[in-house]
Amino acid sequence: MQFRDLKRQYDALKEEIDSGIARVISDADFISGREVGELEEQLADYVGVRHCVTCGNGTDALELALMAWGVGEGDAVFVPDFTFFASGEAVSRVGAVPIFVDVDGETYNVDPSDLERKIGGVLADGRLAPRAVVAVDLFGQPADYRKIREIAGGHGLLVLEDSAQGFGGSIAAGGDGGRAGRRMAGSFGDIATTSFFPAKPLGCYGDGGAIFTDNDEWAALLDSLRIHGKGSGKYDNVRIGMNSRLDTIQAAILLPKLRAFREHELCDASAAAERYGRMLEGAVGIPSVGEGFESSWAQYTIRLPGRRERDGLQARLAERGIPSMVYYRKPMHAQAAFGGVAHFQAGCPVAEGLCDRVLSLPIHPYITAEEQEMVCECIREYLGRQGWQGGWSDAAD
């Protein structure tokens, strides 16, 4: 069994992907070719924003967004304590200080009340200027943007949506437009970013990323920044930028993958998540999806009562040939790389606890019900052997 079965997906889409790659090679149009523009148009349309600017990867996408806003030295940027390292790394790379915010123990996304608290702490301290919030759509579920926007708005902060894992997720829009009354991940931030790393909900066959915004000025600036700060042309350079573009071959791979994603993959991943939910509810802590929210199920992450049980279950699954992953083993504030900014890091107890208790199970659009039954059977057997037949869900929360 694969954790995320990219070979099965390739088997399903092989003809289109192969012919796309062959076309780019025979056109010899490897950088900024026709497929890149086509993909940007389709992505912007799907997400429901005016502009999509593709780039080299999801980490560059975050850094480019912060560069476009001029975030840097002396600025505080609020980042969830429970996320992939890049969400905070980009902040440090532009010279700003990441301030880590605790998360909700069931949705795994940033806890708005702790955000408010951490902003207050920075203001009281007075050394840094609060500038932005990086809101992460962790494991596929959009963050709570209604509350985040309210808090950010009250303090004049920009919202940067890190949707590296969230592409395809959505929130019911209450009838104000969007995709069938829903707003898509990638449209919630003042600027939003995503990643096409192969294992993400929409992945390519290497590195890739994209930035979304409704703001014309920022979109133009991002387009300049990703190509060496270009002015009127590539050899007229008006600012210090980066070299961060999506290869044409990756765009050609993403075009048929985006079609499959829209046609059935997102639905199939949801169905798989529902199946896990039915089989595991009451046995372990299952991920909670907010009212009106839809996840793209980048991960299906359960909770056990503690590290011993989590590690024991992971070992048992491995014995049965079932892959699982711990996202994440360490809260951001405990990463050695952020050691120098520890002076602002009051505790994030929920994030810390989750690092000991979470386990992500195999999930992807091509997983079969039989494979999922095998995973759940192994979990139930492990629970039984440990004498927890009654289940862990209460103990786990």
Contact residues toward ligand PLP (CB under 6 A) are 57-59, 83-84, 86-87, 136, 162, 164-165, 195, 197, 207, 209
Contact by Cβ (8 Å): 302, 286: yes
Of 164 and 376, the one with the shorter C-beta distance to ligand PLP is: 164
Dihedral pair phi/psi, residue 191, rounded to 5°: -130, 145
Rounded to a whole number of angstroms, the minimum distance from the CB of residue 253 to ligand PLP is 15
Query: At closest approach, how far in Å is the CB of 257 from ligand PLP?
Result: 15
Pick between residue 209 and residue 305 the one whose CB is nearest to ligand PLP. Answer: 209
Q: How far is the CB of 59 from ligand PLP (least distance, A)?
A: 3
Residue number, nearest CB to ligand PLP: 58
Question: Among 259, 281, 272, 260, which Cα is nearest to 364's?
Answer: 272
Nearer to ligand PLP, 9 or 83 (CB): 83
Instruction: CB nearer to ligand PLP: give 35 or 207.
Output: 207
CB closer to ligand PLP out of 83 and 270:
83
Residue 185 token pair = 């991940």
Nearer to ligand PLP, 165 or 345 (CB): 165
Least Å from the CB of residue 40 to ligand PLP: 17
Half-sphere exposure in the Cβ direction for 8 (13 Å, CA): 13
Measured CA to CA, the distance from residue 387 to residue 154 in angstroms comes to 50
- As a whole number of angstroms, the distance between CA 44 and CA 391 comes to 44
Residue placing its CB nearer to ligand PLP in the complex, 78 or 382: 78
CB of 91 to ligand PLP, least distance (A): 12
Q: Which one-letter DSSP state was computed for residue 143?
A: P
Beta strands across the sheet bearing 97-101: 51-55, 209-213, 191-195, 158-162, 129-136, 75-80, 97-101
* Residues 185, 300, 59, 14, CA torsion sign: negative
Distances (CA, A) of 161 to 136, 180, 194, 202, 312: 6, 22, 9, 17, 35
Q: Which is nearer to ligand PLP, 121 or 198 (CB)?
A: 198
CB of 361 to ligand PLP, least distance (A): 17
CB of 60 to ligand PLP, least distance (A): 7
Of the candidates 6, 1, 326, 8, the residue with the CA atom closest to the CA atom of residue 198 = 6
Query: Do 358 and 107 meet the contact criterion of CB atoms below 8 Å apart?
Result: no
Cα 35 to Cα 37: distance, rounded to the nearest angstrom: 6
Q: Which of 322, 337, 335 is nearest to 376 (CA)?
A: 322
Compute the distance between CA of residue 40 and CA of residue 32 in angstroms, rounded to an integer.
Answer: 11
Q: Which amino acid is at 62?
A: L
Write down the least CB distance from residue 299 to ligand PLP, Å: 9
Query: Looking at beta carbons only, is 6 or 374 nearer to ligand PLP?
Result: 6
